[in-house]
């Protein structure tokens, strides 16, 4: 988490720029995907040009449509004259051609094809302008409060803006919300017609554990990247805006991720030491036993799936055991005071992890609660309703 002085510096930059202009070319963020813990952040809330990171949202919309049954992977999308006239990078589709949804997904993931992005936009929204409006609306529902889309490709538009924090959230949510389609981001090569296209995300082959997700570049944005990496039971989401070259951006991302994993592994060592203390023989120092948890609705485990369908939730941690997960969630409710009144402590168990969440908020309440917790040095991430 950023120190207070860095926070005020970034806020000053936000105030100093016009609302529709990018505030800082460079920004970066690394989060623990399981807990929402911020491991690194610089200019994470300043608005920058996303370039082809935009296509992550275009793909999110396509995955939404697939899961809703509006299209299938075999659905053929028609190429308009406008789509065929898009600037590179592109597949050089011709007016009147068709492309399947599956090939369109792979073309965006690997080649970052601008003509294909417009084909998807027109297929789902009628026009690219309408689709961009739909993208922005969906982004707001996910909690991407400082992102505005004006097209589906990321080609230059001074009003198309996002932040490192919003893109980290999108990188997290597209995997969590669409696990059946997320594996497409790990595609290293895509053959279409007589050509084979290599994925622009070179971390897939050069950084252990990388399984996605997307690069981006324009002259105005610099070299951007959102990366998802899993190592040693941990998953990190990293974001870099404004790299000077693709190579320097990738090197910087690897450095940030290395530091993030180091922090998590170091924390593991400390927890192992505490376990050893707890298991110490009689007469040796041992950690105090956990306090008995309060009873009633405030400390009850409930079905998170039903709650997340209609209410905003905030996550404050993830643990290997349910007891400390409940304890931390209850601590969050206590720290929230009136904001936490009548909220429900939830332990969302997934595999070996028990995620601590406080549920039952509306949108404004969830963001206000997170701001309160962060001011008290407690990490927090907001989750929008799944519906």
Report the b/e string of 316-325 with b at 16+ CB within 10 A.
bbbbeeeebb
Whole-angstrom distance, CA of residue 221 vs CA of residue 233:
33
Whole-angstrom distance, CA of residue 339 vs CA of residue 341:
6
Asked whether 110 and 202 are in contact (CB, 8 A), the reply is no
pLDDT of residue 106: 98
311 versus 129: the higher-pLDDT residue is 129
pLDDT of residue 100: 98
Residue 371: pLDDT over 50: yes
Sign of CA dihedral 141, 345, 302, 355: positive
Report which listed range, 260-269, 308-317, 368-377, is most confident.
368-377
Supply the DSSP symbol for 318. Answer: E
CA distances from 292 to 113, 202, 304, 319, 357 (A): 56, 50, 23, 18, 19
pLDDT of residue 298: 38
pLDDT of residue 15: 36
CB neighbours of residue 248 within 10 Å: 13
Length of the chain: 387
Question: Could you report the per-residue pLDDT of 89-108, keeping only the tens digit for each?
Answer: 999 999 999 999 999 999 99
Residue 307, φ and ψ in degrees, nearest 5: -65, -40
Whole-angstrom distance, CA of residue 159 vs CA of residue 146:
12
Asked whether 356 and 315 are in contact (CB, 8 A), the reply is yes
Residue ranges per structural domain of the chain: 27-262, 297-383
pLDDT of residue 270: 56
pLDDT of residue 363: 84
Whole-angstrom distance, CA of residue 350 vs CA of residue 149:
33
Residue 294: pLDDT over 70: no
Contacts of 270 (CB under 8 A, 6+ apart): none
Mean pLDDT in residue range 148-163: 97
Residue 275: pLDDT over 60: no
86 versus 266: the higher-pLDDT residue is 86
Name the residues annotated as catalytic.
52, 55, 112
CB neighbours of residue 194 within 10 Å: 5
pLDDT of residue 384: 78
Mean pLDDT in residue range 190-197: 95
Sign of CA dihedral 122, 124, 125, 126: positive
Residue 216, strand partner residues: 224
* CATH fold of 27-262: Beta-lactamase (3.40.710)
Question: Could you report the per-residue pLDDT of 315-365, keeping only the tens digit for each?
Answer: 887 776 777 778 888 888 888 887 766 676 666 666 566 777 888 888 888
28 versus 360: the higher-pLDDT residue is 28
Chain-centre distance of CA 118, in angstroms? 23
Q: What is the mean pLDDT of the chain?
A: 83
pLDDT of residue 20: 45
What percent of the chain shows pLDDT beyond 70? 78
CB neighbours of residue 233 within 10 Å: 13
Q: What angle do CA 224, 198, 78 make, to 5 degrees?
A: 90
Mean pLDDT in residue range 192-221: 95
As a whole number of Å, the end-to-end CA separation of the chain is 30
Asked whether 241 and 168 are in contact (CB, 8 A), the reply is no
pLDDT of residue 11: 40
Asked whether 100 and 94 are in contact (CB, 8 A), the reply is no
**Where is average pLDDT lowest: 40-54, 228-242, 299-313?**
299-313
pLDDT of residue 5: 32
CATH for the stretch 297-383: 3.30.70.1070
Asked whether 93 and 81 are in contact (CB, 8 A), the reply is no
280 versus 225: the higher-pLDDT residue is 225
pLDDT of residue 82: 97
pLDDT of residue 291: 30
pLDDT of residue 14: 40
Q: What angle do CA 20, 26, 31 make, to 5 degrees?
A: 100
User: What is the pTM assigned to this prediction?
Assistant: 0.71
**Where is average pLDDT lowest: 110-124, 146-160, 264-278, 303-317?**
264-278
């Amino acid at each position: 988490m950023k120190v207070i002085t860095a926070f005020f510096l970034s806020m000053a930059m936000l105030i100093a720029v016009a609302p529709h202009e990018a505030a800082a070319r460079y920004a970066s963020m690394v989060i623990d995907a399981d807990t929402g813990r911020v491991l690194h952040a610089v200019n994470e809330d300043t608005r920058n040009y996303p370039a082809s990171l935009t296509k992550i949202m275009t793909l999110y919309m396509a995955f939404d449509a697939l899961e809703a049954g509006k299209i299938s992977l075999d659905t053929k999308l028609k190429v308009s004259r406008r789509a065929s006239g898009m600037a590179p990078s592109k597949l050089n589709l011709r007016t009147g051609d068709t492309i399947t949804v599956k090939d369109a997904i792979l073309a965006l993931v690997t080649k970052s094809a601008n003509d294909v992005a417009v084909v998807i936009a027109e297929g789902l929204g009628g026009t690219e302008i309408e689709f961009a409006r739909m993208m922005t609306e969906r982004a707001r529902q996910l909690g991407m409060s400082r992102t505005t889309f004006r097209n589906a490709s990321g080609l230059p538009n001074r009003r198309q803006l996002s932040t490192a924090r919003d893109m980290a959230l999108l990188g997290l949510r597209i995997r969590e919300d669409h696990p059946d389609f997320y594996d497409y981001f790990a595609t290293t090569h895509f053959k279409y017609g007589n050509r084979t296209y290599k994925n622009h995300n070179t971390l897939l082959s050069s950084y252990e554990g990388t399984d996605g997700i997307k690069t981006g570049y324009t002259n105005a944005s610099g070299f951007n990247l959102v990366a998802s990496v899993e190592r040693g039971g941990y998953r990190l989401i990293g974001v870099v805006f404004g790299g000077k070259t693709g190579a320097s951006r990738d090197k910087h991302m690897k450095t940030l991720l290395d530091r993030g994993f180091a922090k998590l592994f170091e924390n593991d060592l400390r927890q192992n030491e505490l376990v050893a203390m707890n298991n110490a023989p009689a007469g040796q120092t041992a950690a105090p036993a956990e306090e008995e948890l309060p009873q009633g609705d405030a400390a009850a485990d409930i079905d998170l799936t039903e709650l997340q369908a209609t209410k905003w939730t905030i996550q404050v941690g993830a643990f290997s055991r349910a007891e400390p997960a409940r304890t931390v969630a209850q601590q969050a409710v206590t720290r929230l005071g009136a904001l936490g009144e009548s909220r429900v402590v939830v332990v969302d168990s997934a595999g070996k992890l028990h995620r601590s969440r406080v549920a039952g908020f509306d949108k404004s309440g969830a963001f206000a609660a997170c701001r309160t917790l962060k001011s008290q040095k407690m990490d927090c991430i907001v989750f929008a309703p799944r519906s």
